[in-house]
Amino acid sequence: MAIQPGLYEQLITQALKQELDKLDRGLKSITTRVDSEESHGILARYMERYLSCVLARVKGRDKLVKQIAVCNELISSVCNSIEKDQDGHGHIDLEGRRLLQVLDPALANSPRPETPLSVGALLTATSGDPSLVSQLKQEMLHADGVDMLVSFIKWSGIRIIKDELKALTRHGKLRVITTSYLGATDLKAVEFLLSLPNTEVRVSFNTRQTRLHAKAYIFHRKSAFGAAYVGSSNISNPALTDGLEWNVKLCQQESGHRPGTETG
């Protein structure tokens, strides 16, 4: 397939280099050397895509066993070349299982988020998506701390998540930043938040210079499987339930290099 003019940010493989050498007259490739400070992330993302394609081609009843064998062979090669696998931290167990939770008996009946904890998602409030409020509730029940940054907070929104907020603040910290912009924030909602333990609330009254319009919900976990929801939803009933809102879920495991997705 011929290379098309346009923008790229692609690692050059040996095959791609050959294609670049055969570019039509008038076309010029602009390349740059991979920065050694970023090379580990760039190379790892390339290997993720490449290995995913290779593993997808494995067929048969013993597909998982073969896939694990390929991964462990690659890990062994890495260990022989760079560093040893101390105590089996890198090699995959042959049973092919994933850890989903280390159960705290207090959370035995708490449902886990329907959206993945390691891969991002887009919530568009359509019939095929879980509601934002359902995900915020489920994330809250399994979080060690929560940060919220919203333009305004309505009691109609707090009312439908108040039980989860109470459960969260019995063991974890809640921090909230909001504003008095347009007079939309309800005093009753702020008073409820201030009544919770382990909670810090800050309200900006500067509506002329700092017209805060951001909306973000950040969930911190000691397990390093934190998440952040960033989009258009303030804390109100319509915005959290059936309003026409779009929100992106970012996962710490996938986006740990982005500010705001680290634990803390």
DSSP string for 104-120:
-GGGTTPPPPSS-SSS-
Domain boundaries 115-255, corresponding CATH code: 3.30.870.10
**Cβ-contact 99, 115 below 8 angstroms:** no
The pLDDT value given to residue 264: 46
Name the pTM for this structure. Answer: 0.80
Of 226, 229, 156, 149, nearest to 186 by C-alpha is 156
Residue with tokens 């390349």: 31
Question: Which ranges in the chain are annotated with CATH 3.30.870.10?
Answer: 115-255
Specify the length of the chain in residues. 264
Residue 1: per-residue pLDDT: 60
Q: What is the pLDDT of residue 143?
A: 93
Tens of pLDDT along the chain (264 residues)? 678 888 888 999 988 998 898 888 788 899 999 999 989 888 988 998 999 999 999 999 999 999 999 999 998 988 888 877 667 777 888 888 887 877 777 665 678 899 988 889 999 988 888 999 999 999 999 999 999 999 999 999 999 999 999 999 999 999 999 988 778 899 999 999 999 999 999 998 876 776 788 899 999 999 899 999 999 999 999 999 988 899 999 999 887 555 444 544
Per DSSP, the residues of 24-65 read PTT------PPPTTTHHHHHHHHHHHHHHHHHHT--STTHHH
Q: Are strands 173-179 and 199-204 parallel, antiparallel or unpaired?
A: parallel
Q: What is the pLDDT of residue 107?
A: 61
Q: Whole-angstrom Cα distance, residue 125 to residue 241?
A: 8
Which of 230, 221, 231 minimizes the C-alpha distance to 252?
221
Tally the C-alpha atoms within 13 A of residue 21's C-alpha that lie toward its C-beta.
Answer: 7
